[in-house]
Every structure is written in C-alpha cells, then in structure tokens.
Amino acid sequence: MTQSEWEKLAKSELKGKNLDSLIWETPEGIKVKPLYTLQDLEGIEELSAFPGFDPYLRGPRATMYANRPWTLRQYAGFSTPEESNQFYRENLKAGQHGLSVAFDLPTHRGYDSDHPRVAGDVGKAGVAIDTVEDMKLLFKRIPLDQISVSMTMNGAVIPIMAAFIVAAEEQGVRAEQLSGTMQNDILKEFMVRNTYIYPPEPSMRLVADIIEYTSQHMPKFNSISVSGYHMHEAGATAVQELAFTLADGLEYVRAALSRGLSIDDFAPRLSFFFGIGMNFFMEIAKLRAARILWAELMKPFNPKNPQSLMLRTHCQTSGVSLAAQDPLNNVVRTTLEALSAVLGGTQSLHTDSYDEAVALPSIKSARVARNTQLIIAEETGIPYVIDPLGGSYYVEALTHSLKQHAKTLIDEVETHGGMVKAILQGMPKMAIEESAAKRQARIDLGEDTIVGVNKYTIEEEPLEILEIDASWVRDRQIQRLESIKKSRDTDNVKEILESLTAAAASKRNVLPLAIEAMRARATVGEVSAALEKVYTRYEAPTHTIHGVYGALYEEGNHQDVDSFRKRVEAFVQKEGRKPHLMIAKLGQDGHDRGAKVIATAFEDLGFEVENGPLFQTPEEAVKQAIDHKAHILGLSSQAAGHRILVPQVMAALKAAGAQNILVVCGGVIPPQDHEELYTQGVAAIFGPGTPLLKAAEKTLKLLEETLTI
C-alpha cells in the first residue's frame, strides 16, 4: 500500500472531512499527524547511533536496563529525622536502591526551626534539619559508603552539604566515599520554585563553590542536578522545560569553568532532573531529545572525556497531574508517567503517591508508588530490551521536532546574555506562567480532559491522610536546638561564623569553613545568616501576566463568561469600584503556580487583583489587605501549613477590627480540615481542580451577600 492509497481510504472513513481535521497541535506548538512513515525520518542523522555512543539518543549506557535497572528512589521526608530514617530503612529493605531527601521549607530557606517566621512550616512537606545531630539521626544505621543519597536542596545548599559531610565523617565514612547528588540548582528557584535565599549572582557563586569542592574531594558525588521538574510543575511546556533546563546547565558549566576547572573535571558528574507528565510519547521524546541537545551544547567546550557529553537524568512523575477528585485514578496516571520515563531512558526514578493532591503522602500511598516501579522493572519484561521505541516513526520524528523547538528557545536565552540575565529580565518566568494559565483555561473549558475532574465525575469518600502535628515537631526541634547551643563551644562557633562571613566577602570557597562550622555544631540558620550578612536576602519582584486566560475564553464565545462579567459591572456600579482580591502566600511556601493562575484568571474576569509578596506572615498579609482596602483575602496553601497559619490570619483580622474582609482558601487542603477552617471563619475553600470561573462566581456571590448584610 502506498501513502496515497492510505489517504484515499482514510478520507472515505472520514466521510469527506479533510485529513487536516486529524492533526493535533500540542501546547508546545508541535503539529502531530495521525500517521508517521519512514519518509518522516529522512535527514535525521542521529538514527544510526547506538546506545552509549554520541549523541546518546538511545541512552547514555551501552547496555542500559538490560544490564542494570534504573535506580528506584522515593522522595520523602517525614517531619522529624527519626521518622524519616525509619521510612528510609524500610524502603531500602523493600527494594529501593537510593534515598531522596525532602527537606522542610524552613530548612530550604535557611531558617532554624525556632525562627519566628516559620511557625507553620516546620516538619511540613519534608524533614526539619537544623544541625549535624539532625543529619546523623536522618542517616542512622544507613551505611553512607554504600547507599546513594540525593538531596533536593538549593537555597541552604552550603550548610546542608556541610552537615551531610560531617554526619558521614562521624559515621566513619570519608567524603571521597560518598555517592549521590546535591540538587544545587538555584536558577530554577528564581524561575518557579522560589526557595532561594540570596540574589542570583552570589547564589551562582555558591553553586560554583560546591562544584569546585566536590570535583577536588568527592569523586563519586554529583555536584549538581539541573532541574526541569519544577518548571514542569509550574506549567512549562515540554519545549520550555527542556530548553530552560539545558540553558541553566550551560550557565553552571560556565560558572565552573570560571574557577579554572577544565570541562572534564566536573562535566561527567553533572546530572539532570525532569518532570514526566501525561503526554506519554512527548515525555519519551523529551528525554531522548535532551541527550542529543546536551551533547551538542557540550562539544564547543572541547571535552576529551566522552562522558562530558553524556546527559544522565533522574525523573519524577508529575505532581501537578494528580487530581484531588477520585484520587485512585492517580495510581494509573503515575504508572503511565513512570512507564514513559523508563521508555525514555531515565537513570533513576521517583514515583509520586496517589494522595499528594489532597495531603502529604501517607505510608500506604508511598508503598504503592514504590511498588509501581518494582512492577514495571520486574513483571513486565520491558527492561530486557534497550530503547524499545527506537526506530518508531512517530517517536523519532517527535524527538527531532522537540529538539529543534528547544534549540530555538535556547538560542533566544543566549541572546539575552545567558540564563542569569534572562531570569533577571523575567523572560523564562513569564513564559512559563503564560503556559500555566493557558493550561488551566483549557481544563476549565473542557478542552483538556481530566478524568474525574472535568469529565466522568463521581461523589467520593474522603481519603485517609497523613497528619503531622507541626507544633509538636517544632517544639521538639527547638528543644534540640537549645540543648546543642548549651553544650557547644559558643566562642569557637562565633569565631568560625565570622571567618565564614569574611570568606563570603572574599573570593574564597566558603564550603570548607561551613564544614568547620557544622562540625562545631553551628546551625543551618546561623551558617545561612553568616552568608546573608554579605549577600543579603533576596526579595523577588511580583509580576502577573494579563489577558491570557480571558483570551482563551473569548475565543470560545462563552456566554457564562459574558454573564459573569456583567455581574461584575453591576457590582462596580453599585459599590463604586471593582471587587478587590488580595492573594497571599503565607509562610515559606514558594510554590506560586496556583496563586499566579488564579490572579490572571480573576483579573481577566473583572476583579481587581493584588498579589502579596512571597513568604508573608499572617500579620503582614492582613496589614496589606487592610491598607489596600481589599474585599477578599485569598490564602494559597500548598505545603500543609493551613492549620496553623489560617487561625493566625483570622486572629489578626479580629485584632485589627477587619472581620469584614472575606477570607477564602485554595490549594492542597484535605476535606477533613474544611470544617475546622469554616469554624475559624473561612468563607470558602477551593481545592485542586476547581474551575476558576466557578470559584470567581462563588467568591463574588459571597461578597455580594456580605455587603448586603
């Protein structure tokens, strides 16, 4: 059969419709045809490559999983070091190969657990680490010379790296014996995740300090994991995630070279970290394209070691694809995403738990997530064949197209002067936020189907969830801090910290002095503060995109939107101004995708919207809401701090005599907590998956009722 014969048959089945009606355009702007043939692969040079050879299209290792499966990881941290340690040891017994440590938000932001700004965050979304003693408990009875440890740490990377080295040392393990990865990727924090401490330029200096130290003293340790995952979670398309991640990698390479290192001193131990979403073949193609592109980007540096061209990656299934509605569907989503990562050739993998859109993962859900990988690895037969989709007309064509689109975007970053300058100009952040707004609008319009959310919905029972008593965890950490500060040599600690500050003001590598400080039992907060005296603490400007959400609604000529806007106009005529919503991110939770999407959607629907700065205290958010005469204070919570922070907001409103300001909440808030929040005075709670038009309608109705009373 020829292609023309196929077209004739296809047209007959379409009953006169044009074949173009079967073409799908992805969010990346890539047109996907219904059929691919050998002709689509003409001119693609990489197809003749074997796995383990430049440009590594088919994998960085010659034998891939046929010789050794990917590393099974589970990213976890449970409030206290002891609880986390128990979880790690049980997982290692159950087949997990390496550890991935999740730290709580105060640790990420360089605050000790006793700092007044972190009352609602200690032990939430990860483990609290204040000193070497906490780190020793975290790895108790885990042989650090045998187990690979991955740590997701960027802002407080210096004290955490120092504490890890000292904890291993006191376990009897030398630094050169340690294997694993420190994320150490600060640039993506300024784009999407926001757990930074210092401004971009000094932060890049600390990245280079880690790379330099590990290249000299820790030959088995990966000094950086360049992360696209958080861009993916913030709403980036596959092209944006791929391009911005590799552009970040280029910036780190240049920073390391500026220290006098040769490319082969560190490039073989650079690693990457990608998110894996629900576009099955796109995610496979993304990993394959990443390897080709990285090899191309490295060649101008003239490496002599072929491994300097090799992109190795960890992957994590998507958290943002998980739905709070009908959450057992998330098991299927995670399985498909994990399979996509494996078929794309990941070197290690972490699978998310099905309840993470509702609450922090439970022990049960984490077990299901881990077993998902074990089933793929040991029951399916998939690992027996290297790159089983190699040669697929569609996958190869998609890989090539994705590579070309990403290379164009990398070139655009380079025209800005590299990633640091592009970030300072706001270019990547705004591009990702626009993609996120478009994605949410497509879901709300039903153009993108989410089973159980905007289609095939059901009534369901609440899940059993993991509950953490943050007050108890914080009290325990504070007791430990007090005990350590009483027992240590205070003058010695002070002297080392002063030397650390002096090193920060010079060109010396600060990590050796940080190791001395942690060995003397300085705290994470003290080491961070010593650096902050020179570098300052960074406050990012707040920007909101405009018009994206509303434009997609207008394209569809939706009468419900027009009707709602008329209600807003009526409100303005009656009250003399627009309904004013202030959105606040309280505590140390920097995940602001939801807040930004809500802001652009509500503004496009007619509200006046104000975004408060990140990391506000309840009192600061209330003061801003009062000063700016907000009608509604919207609290966005992603890190389980609502039980402590929301009551503090309500108390601050009462103390200021501003109970007339409506409080609404959104984000990851378990249904079990709703009644308590309503009792506190919260007017409405919008969980993940709530269509934003419905949220706006309910908010306006509540405001109208309040002003009528």
Write down the catalytic residue from 75, 88, 196, 394.
75
Q: Among this protein's residues, is 591 annotated catalytic? A: yes
Q: Among this protein's residues, is 578 annotated catalytic? A: no
Rounded to whole angstroms, how far apart are CA atoms 509 and 516? 13
Which residues lie closer than 8 Å to 228 by C-beta, 6 or more apart? Answer: 188, 236, 241, 242, 244, 245, 272, 273, 274, 275
508 secondary structure, DSSP code: S
Write down the catalytic residue from 108, 124, 188, 230.
230
HSE value, Cβ hemisphere, 13 Å, CA-based, for 565: 13
- What is the torsion angle, in degrees rounded to the nearest 10, for the CA atoms of residue 616, residue 517, residue 147 and residue 294? 70
Write down the catalytic residue from 185, 589, 592, 604.
589
Write down the catalytic residue from 108, 405, 585, 631.
585
Q: Among this protein's residues, is 486 annotated catalytic? A: no
Residue whose C-alpha is closest to residue 318's, from 288, 283, 268, 278: 278
Q: Among this protein's residues, is 75 annotated catalytic? A: yes
Contacts of 670-675 with C-beta under 8 Å, sequence gap 24+, read: 670/358, 670/359, 670/462, 670/463, 670/465, 671/358, 671/462, 672/462, 672/465, 673/642, 673/643
In this structure, what are the phi and psi dihedrals at residue 221, rounded to the nearest 5 degrees?
-105, 135
Write down the catalytic residue from 188, 580, 591, 631.
591
Contacts of 575-580 with C-beta under 8 Å, sequence gap 24+, read: 575/707, 577/608, 578/606, 578/607, 578/608, 579/606, 579/607, 579/608, 579/631, 579/632, 579/699, 579/700, 579/703, 580/607, 580/608, 580/609, 580/610, 580/628, 580/629, 580/630, 580/631, 580/632
In this structure, what are the phi and psi dihedrals at residue 536, rounded to the nearest 5 degrees?
70, 165
Q: Among this protein's residues, is 549 annotated catalytic? A: no
> E strands, 338-468, where?
348-350
Per residue, the 3-state secondary structure of 46-103, as one string, reads: HHHCCCCCCCCCCCCCCCHHHHCCCEEEEEECCCCHHHHHHHHHHHHHCCCCEEEECE
Residue whose C-alpha is closest to residue 277's, from 25, 462, 28, 452: 28
Write down the catalytic residue from 65, 198, 229, 354.
229
The residue whose two tokens read 């209330």 is 622
Q: Among this protein's residues, is 566 annotated catalytic? A: no
User: Which sequence positions are flagged as catalytic?
Assistant: 75, 229-230, 585, 589, 591
